[in-house]
Structure 1
Amino acid sequence: MPLSIFGFRALWSPYFLLALVIGMVLYYLITVKWRDRFEGAEPVTKRQITYFIASMVLLYIVKGSPMDLVGHILFSVHMAQMAILLLIVAPFFIIGIPNWIWEKVLSVQMINKVFMLFTKPVISLLLFTLMFSMYHYPLVLDQVKLSLPLHTVFTVTLFISAIFLWWPVVNTVKGQPQLHGLKKIGYVILSALLITPACSLIIFVDVPVYETYSSGEAWLKAMALCVPSSTLAGFSNLGISGPELFTDMPTLYDQQLGGILMKVIQELIYVVVIGRIFLGWAKYEQENADEITRQDLLKRQKLTMHG
């Protein structure tokens, strides 16, 4: 059955698109047009503009385009959405916002305290792992998908936990938690390892565990998150009973594919991230070889003197 039966609004989320366009216009006004009005403001770079626009485009693709609708039909697409949202959009968003704006935001004492606490490497890793694992626990996900307010709160909270996760890796704001060199590589590897159990459970379980992807009644209720009630009301006349009308893939295979996709996308992203970290670290070591050697010699002299 074609997806077009859900209607234009469900497929393309025009209101969400409008909100993102307004966000991009505000970004332009603050970083370019009105920049002189802000003390300490610096010119926005092409790199920051590129990352911000990319984050908004990807955000629309995963939460506003037909991919979002299909994510309510196929669990595998839902997991691909999660991977893109949490592992690409979040770091792109951090990089895309100029440091002077982050400094203005973090000048609010309460926000700064929250960031300083939840972006500590151990806490950020544990928080993201807990949120991701809890979100994909069958009873939790099924409940979340049946309530728009709950779904919104969980998605926003999970995204914020992803911001905290990536903050020590990609932020360059003075005074904020930052990792360097091997510590940064170790942090990224540990992050990959920590969500492996949750993905493994999804991959290796031998029965469908999500009611909202396997039960016709639960699935139809869950579709209310992205399909107008007026459209859903007419589905009973069409005899639509569940996601099997839109896909030939067995529910169990779809579920297992979801876990595999999450891990594969994560591994690919992390390989790129670790590669860039390593190259950046190697370049820094090469460019500052004399200074590093001098610091090492000073440390050895101090140790010798104390010895």
Structure 2
Amino acid sequence: MNQIGGFFELWNPVLLLVVIVVGYVYSRLVAKGNGNSTDESVSGTQQLSFYFGLALFYIGQGSPINFLGHHYLFSMHMLQQTLLYLTVPIFIWIGLPAWMVRALLLKNSIIRGLFSFLTRPLIALFLFNMLFSIYHMPFIMDGLMRHEWLQLGYHTVLLISAFVMWFPVFCPIPEMNRLSELKKLAYIFGNGVLLTPACALIIFADTVIYDMYTNVTIPFAHLSTLDDQQLGGVIMKVLQEVIYGGTLAYIFFRWYRRERNEEEDLDAIHTHDNMNPQGGNWNRA
């Protein structure tokens, strides 16, 4: 493949610096919170999840995936969107403790009210999928790609809506956890259904529907522009099924483990009561 861009085009050092700073601030907040006995501690698994989410964000937005997706390959653009909107928010929410989210989003009454409204399950569900579907309308996407700042603004709003969409499923704040596990399963299933039309439009189109990719020279042999477009739809749909399927399994087994632990606790209480019918004085004469 020919050289298609310089180092600063393929790798975004400014974004890398931002990611490093965010990771450092997070580590300092975690160290401070873990040292305060009044706050819940952040486990190593949570911290690893947050850092992994940051790494995925940089891979999606600051690596050659972003450059290739914007200039050459629609399939890379769809891979980028899968990483940013369907994967990154999961790991970030898992890595954020409740006290940190409260401090960042719930201290200000205006932000708290707006966040509480947007994260209502039905609103969160339809907001993301509506914005995602609108973005993939050919005239919308072509127009945004021609104007860098408009594209950046829309992608920022779409990323925020993705975090909002995943919040009801991986809610770190107990008092805002509105959905039972059964409802979370239905919520994820509904997401999969609403995301399907945009993928189907791309996969089954028999012509190139995005002007921005019509006259580009694809830097890979034996891959036509139409094949690349259909491959992008397949990548999004297959990875979406894998991610949503994994999320469903995660929720189900977490639900199963909690129910089983509760049953074991009840059995232990009943066993204790049967052995001590008079409050522990059954040996008293």
Above 0.5 in TM-score? yes
CA offset at residue 94 of structure 1? Answer: 1.4
CA offset at residue 26 of structure 1? Answer: 1.4
> 1:30-109 to 2 correspondence within 5 Å?
30-32=29-31, 34-35=32-33, 41-72=39-70, 73-105=72-104, 106-109=106-109
**Which consecutive unaligned segments of at least 5 residues does structure 1 have?**
216-241, 294-307
Which residue pairs with 1:19 in the alignment?
18
Amino acid corresponding to residue 212 of structure 1 in structure 2: M
CA offset at residue 35 of structure 1? Answer: 4.2
Which residue pairs with 2:236 in the alignment?
262
TM-score with structure 1 setting the length? 0.81
Deviations 1:162-211, CA, capped at 9 Å, x for gaps: 11111010013032143222111111011000110111111111110111
Q: 1:30 to 1:133 in 2, by over 3 A?
A: same
2: CA distance, partners of 1:61 / 1:245: 20
2: CA distance, partners of 1:69 / 1:272: 29
1: CA distance, partners of 2:185 / 2:91: 18
- Partner residue of 1:284 out of 239, 244, 258: 258
Contact kept in structure 2, 1:172 and 1:178, CA below 8 Å? no
Aligned residues: CA RMSD:
2.1
1: CA distance, partners of 2:212 / 2:266: 57
The answer to whether 1:203 aligns with 2:177 is: no
Paired residues in the alignment total: 265
Contact kept in structure 2, 1:116 and 1:177, CA below 8 Å? no
TM-score with structure 2 setting the length? 0.87
2: CA distance, partners of 1:189 / 1:108: 33
2: CA distance, partners of 1:277 / 1:127: 22
Which residue pairs with 1:213 in the alignment?
213
Aligned to 1:209, the other structure's residue is in SS state coil
Deviations 1:104-142, CA, capped at 9 Å, x for gaps: 121211111112111111111110110100111111111
Runs of 4+ in 1 over 2 A off after TM superposition: 34-44, 242-248, 289-293
Which residue pairs with 2:282 in the alignment?
none
